Amino acid sequence: MATVLADGRAAWERSGHLFVVADGMGAHAAGELASRLAVDLIPHHYAKQHQPRPIENLHRALIEANNEIYRRGQANIEFRNMGTTASALAILPEGAICAHVGDSRIYHLRNNQLEQITFDHSLVWEMQASGGVAEESVRSGMIPKNVITRSLGPNASVLIDLEGPIPVRKGDKFLLCSDGLSGQLNDEEIGVFMRILPTQTAAQLMIDLANLRGGPDNITLVIVEVVGEGVVTSSQVSLKIPRLPVNESSFKVGFAVVAAICLLASAIFMLVQQQVAALVAAIAGVISLIVGWIIYQAQHMQKEDKGERYGRAPYRRYVCNADAALVDRLAGTIQALKEATVENNWTKAGETLERLRKKGEDAAKERNFTAAVEHYSCTIVETMRLIRDTKQ
């Protein structure tokens, strides 16, 4: 992953704060090289681009990264066809923008609402989107979840999804993560942890939980929390692009003048009893008016089209509240951890676990699920920290 914070206000206004998560695929060394190249190359090329809109710069940066990863893959048999997911988020004065390929996700949390703002380029999602698959066959695991349909590197060209700009408010949080996280935790859990816990605790807890649930894959995540007014999207920021280079106003006026001359000529021909010429001039005038109007409409629509948001985010939306089921799941995890501390004689971790768990149990009894999640989360994070210390 890469996090590149703008160095000062002017730099932020130009290219914002940038965050990238990449998850390599293929043979171990190849996947590692591909994801390493992506997180190095995307910020590098993003900073070098000079397109009118930052989202175009970000798009270009992913294309450049693809070119380089593909080239390196072709040059060395060991790295042939290496690939990586890439999800990039930039927070700018116009809002948050994303460029994305693969199944690493970007989520946006506001209050208790979590939205996934990237579309998974996975077999499961693509099949669901095409309507060719029933929910049950997805849930039963008939379709492999880890097959991705697009990535950076294996091919000379790649289609990049663009999203945004999405207005940013104070208190908003964004999560970028690999499927090592989203495959082990469900979206509601992710939303609750991000909402309730301090950011650092939420990040550690989510990694610990994904590992405790089997951790079949490596886990990468970045949480972006909007703490100051400085990066909040002002309502004055226009989402429109700079005006088109065509001088459209003189263009429109040109058609209007031609129409006026034709209609005037038509009137004069009528006065001098030249009916045929009058008719021809009138028709020319009307055509000129219609053509001018069509061109005006087309330009107008094109402007609005380009000025609006890219992408169709959000793709999924969840309301995230701590509930009894989540509290029970965490209690179960803590019980399993407890048994592990006894079995391995991790005395200190075991004592800490008992002490912290008590507070969670009390809150759960009072049906204060938010407090219970808080205490249970601290129990897991703290116990895991002590276990790691013991094992070192």
The site for Ca ion (CB under 5 A) is made up of 23, 179, 217
Is the Cβ of residue 215 or residue 254 nearer to Ca ion in the bound state?
215
Answer whether 259's CB lies under 8 Å from 285's CB.
yes
If we measure between CA atoms, which residue out of 133, 125, 80, 127 comes closest to residue 104? 125
Answer whether 117's CB lies under 8 Å from 106's CB.
yes
Is the Cβ of residue 219 or residue 387 nearer to Ca ion in the bound state?
219
Q: Round to whole Å and give the CA distance between 313 and 99.
A: 12
- State the amino acid at position 207 in one-letter form: I
If we measure between CA atoms, which residue out of 379, 292, 257, 277 comes closest to residue 327? 379
Is the Cβ of residue 179 or residue 374 nearer to Ca ion in the bound state?
179
Q: Cβ 190 to Ca ion, closest distance in Å?
A: 16
Q: Cβ 179 to Ca ion, closest distance in Å?
A: 5
Is the Cβ of residue 56 or residue 217 nearer to Ca ion in the bound state?
217
Q: Residues 6 or more apart from 303 whose CB is under 8 A from it? A: 240, 241, 243, 244
Q: Cβ 242 to Ca ion, closest distance in Å?
A: 39
Is the Cβ of residue 84 or residue 377 nearer to Ca ion in the bound state?
84
Q: Round to whole Å and give the CA distance between 376 and 371.
A: 8
Answer whether 149's CB lies under 8 Å from 121's CB.
yes
Q: Cβ 23 to Ca ion, closest distance in Å?
A: 4
If we measure between CA atoms, which residue out of 105, 85, 113, 110 comes closest to residue 95? 110
State residue 36 phi and psi, 5-degree precision.
Answer: -60, -45
Is the Cβ of residue 180 or residue 285 nearer to Ca ion in the bound state?
180
Q: Cβ 178 to Ca ion, closest distance in Å?
A: 5
In sequence order, the β-bridge partners of residue 89 are 19, 98
Q: Cβ 124 to Ca ion, closest distance in Å?
A: 14
**On the CB side of 164, how many CA atoms lie within 13 Å of its CA?**
31
Q: Cβ 347 to Ca ion, closest distance in Å?
A: 36
**On the CB side of 219, how many CA atoms lie within 13 Å of its CA?**
21
Q: Cβ 26 to Ca ion, closest distance in Å?
A: 11
Is the Cβ of residue 151 or residue 352 nearer to Ca ion in the bound state?
151
State residue 217 phi and psi, 5-degree precision.
Answer: -135, 155
Is the Cβ of residue 66 or residue 151 nearer to Ca ion in the bound state?
151
Q: Round to whole Å and give the CA distance between 392 and 375.
A: 26
